[in-house]
Amino acid sequence: MRMRAFSQHLCSSLRNGEYYAKMILVKHSQPQIDPLVPAREWHLSEEGRLRCQPLADKLAGYEPGRIVASTELKAVETAKIVAERLGTPFEVAEGLHEHDRSNVAFYAPQVFDAAVATFFQKPGALVFGRETALQAQERFSRAVESVLEKYIDENVVIVAHGTVITLFVAAHAAIEPFAFWKRLGLPSFVVMSLPGRELMGLDNL
């Protein structure tokens, strides 16, 4: 599916005179990678913190009513910087974390890419980590729906992670998961319509 980047953002859609909110799924900004520390404990790098400012500026066009982050530090820090810049309420929610790889050592980039490609190709198999792709997608989807039920009719920003965002989008749109995953930068975001979960665009910074 060909995606389009947004240079200008509208906070809502009007169809037949009715208001349609949007959900924006954000992949966290650039972390400080430390092979000796679990990825879920990585903080943002200095460059990653700087990148949150133009991210916030792009998200401002959607006038988000709430920013919700996964419990992982790099997502929390991304969301906090954006929320402070926008003056938007911010909170952390369970279940939005990345595919559970807590039992996996640090992989070299090529090895990691190969593992992720197989992960997407065999969603019901435990390829690596503690969750299959299906389990991660179902867990993340439950958490997303819980957030959306809490903030009905608001534009909601959810700051999470590349793999689970890809799994969620793939459940609602005709994408090739691995290629989509590779396109997600640090940071980046995808926009989906509500309530239909239609994929509207992908934006990289």
- pLDDT, residue 20, reads 81
Mean pLDDT, the chain, rounded, equals: 92
Collect the ranges in the chain with pLDDT lower than 50: 1-12, 15-17
- pLDDT, residue 196, reads 94
Q: Is residue 72 part of a domain?
A: yes
- pLDDT, residue 69, reads 98
- pLDDT, residue 18, reads 55
Q: Is residue 47 part of a domain?
A: yes
Q: How far apart are CA 43 and CA 76, in angstroms?
A: 9
Q: Is residue 5 part of a domain?
A: no
| CATH at 34 | 3.40.50.1240
Q: Which domain holds residue 187?
A: 21-204
Q: Is residue 175 part of a domain?
A: yes
In degrees rounded to 5, what are phi and psi of residue 199?
Answer: -75, 125
Q: Is residue 176 part of a domain?
A: yes
Q: How many domains does the chain have?
A: 1
Distances 164 to 18, 86, 87 between C-alpha atoms, Å: 31, 25, 27
The helix (H) or strand (E) run that includes residue 87 is: none
Return the ∠ at Cα 178 (arms to 132 and 108), rounded to 5°: 80
- pLDDT, residue 1, reads 35
Q: How far apart are CA 191 and CA 126, in angstroms?
A: 29
Q: Is residue 4 part of a domain?
A: no
- pLDDT, residue 19, reads 59
pTM of the predicted structure, to 2 decimals: 0.92
Q: How far apart are CA 107 and CA 101, in angstroms?
A: 11
Q: Is residue 27 part of a domain?
A: yes
Q: Is residue 8 part of a domain?
A: no
